[in-house]
Amino acid sequence: MVLSFTEYPNNGRTCLRLKEVEGDREDGVRATCTVNLPLAPMGENEVAIKTWHENVGMLEWLIDEGIVSEPQHYAYFSGVFIPICCLLIRDGRSC
């Protein structure tokens, strides 16, 4: 499994996905780790982590692996508080 970095097309925010690897190519999305919140105020290097349904435990795993920081703040959307974290890897930028 590999961590894939892409951007959401409507606003360029970072999208993190876990993808299966078949040989030397990425094969399919196993989980989308982030959620796009176009109206939520977020810093340039922050990501909104999806923590419900199939993503229960995702935030803790991303923190344990050093991929994101502890939540910096939360966004409230559709009855859910969504953790906003600093992305700690990719290009060395910090929040």
Report which residue type is found at 88.
L
Cα 84 from chain centre: 9
pLDDT of residue 91: 58
- Distance (Å, whole) CA 13 – CA 9: 8
Question: What digits encode the pLDDT tens for the residues 4-30?
Answer: 899 999 999 999 999 988 777 767 888
Within 10 angstroms of residue 94's Cβ, the number of other Cβ atoms is 10
Yes or no: say if 95 and 86 are a contact pair by the CB < 8 Å rule: yes
- Distance (Å, whole) CA 18 – CA 20: 7
Question: What digits encode the pLDDT tens for the residues 46-80?
Answer: 999 999 999 999 999 999 999 999 999 999 998 99
- Model confidence, pTM: 0.88
